A = this chain, B = another copy of it.
Amino acid sequence: MWNSIGNNFTITSFGESHGKCVGIIIDGCPAGLPITDHDIQIELDKRKPGVSSLATSRTEADKVEILSGIFNGCTTGAPICLLIWNRDIKSSEYEKKRFMLRPGHADFTAFMKYGGFNDFRGGGRFSGRITATFVMAGAVAKKLLGLIGIEVIAHTIAIGDIKVETRQVEEIRENVEKNPVKCADTGAAEGMIKAIEQAKKEGDSLGGIIEGLVLNVPTGLGEPVFDTLEGNLAKALFAIPAVKGVEFGAGFRVAEKKGSDNNDSFIIRENSVVTATNNAGGILGGISTGMPIVVRVAVKPTPSITKNQNTVNINSMEEVSLTVKGRHDPCIVPRAVPVVESMIAVILCDFAIGAGLIPRVIK
**CB proximity to B under 8 Å, residues A94-124:** 101, 103-106, 108-110, 112-115, 117-119, 124
A271 within 8 A of partner (CB): yes
**Number of A residues whose C-beta is below 8 Å from B?**
151
A264 within 8 A of partner (CB): yes
Given A124-B76, A259-B205, decide whether A27 and B3 contact each other with a Cβ distance below 8 A: yes
Among B20, B79, B202, B268, the residue within 8 A (CB) of A14 is B79
A188 within 8 A of partner (CB): no
Whether A12 and B15, one on each chain, are in contact in the complex, defined by CB atoms closer than 8 angstroms, is: no
Q: Which of A256, A265, A312 has the most CB of B within 10 A?
A: A256
A180 within 8 A of partner (CB): no
> Could you tell me the distance between the alpha carbons of A310 and B222 in the complex, rounded to whole angstroms?
26
> What are 11 residue pairs bridging A and B, where the CB atoms are less than 8 Å apart in the complex?
A1-B1, A2-B225, A71-B119, A77-B113, A78-B124, A103-B275, A115-B363, A202-B258, A239-B286, A244-B281, A268-B318
Whether A356 and B360, one on each chain, are in contact in the complex, defined by CB atoms closer than 8 angstroms, is: yes
A75 within 8 A of partner (CB): yes
A335 within 8 A of partner (CB): no
Whether B31 and A114, one on each chain, are in contact in the complex, defined by CB atoms closer than 8 angstroms, is: yes
> Could you tell me the distance between the alpha carbons of A236 and B20 in the complex, rounded to whole angstroms?
30
A138 within 8 A of partner (CB): no
CB-nearest residue of chain B to A125: B78
Given A205-B259, A284-B104, decide whether A31 and B118 contact each other with a Cβ distance below 8 A: yes
Contacting residues, chain B, for A309 (C-beta < 8 A): 260, 263, 265
Whether A207 and B257, one on each chain, are in contact in the complex, defined by CB atoms closer than 8 angstroms, is: yes
Whether B227 and A1, one on each chain, are in contact in the complex, defined by CB atoms closer than 8 angstroms, is: yes
- Return the CB mask of A304-337 against B: 1 if under 8 Å, else 0: 1101011110100111000000000000000000
> Could you tell me the distance between the alpha carbons of A260 and B104 in the complex, rounded to whole angstroms?
10
Given A67-B23, A303-B259, decide whether A3 and B280 contact each other with a Cβ distance below 8 A: no
Whether A3 and B79, one on each chain, are in contact in the complex, defined by CB atoms closer than 8 angstroms, is: yes
Q: Which of A40-48, A145-153, A164-172, A245-253 contacts B (4 or more CB under 8 A)?
A: A245-253
> Could you tell me the distance between the alpha carbons of A84 and B162 in the complex, rounded to whole angstroms?
50
In whole Å, how far is A252's beta carbon from the nearest beta carbon of chain B? 4
Q: Which of A81, A209, A281 has the most CB of B within 10 A?
A: A81
Whether A250 and B300, one on each chain, are in contact in the complex, defined by CB atoms closer than 8 angstroms, is: yes
CB-nearest residue of chain B to A163: B255
Whether A226 and B108, one on each chain, are in contact in the complex, defined by CB atoms closer than 8 angstroms, is: no
CB-nearest residue of chain B to A320: B266
Whether B2 and A226, one on each chain, are in contact in the complex, defined by CB atoms closer than 8 angstroms, is: yes
Given A4-B1, A77-B118, A256-B160, decide whether A286 and B68 contact each other with a Cβ distance below 8 A: no
> Could you tell me the distance between the alpha carbons of A347 and B297 in the complex, rounded to whole angstroms?
22
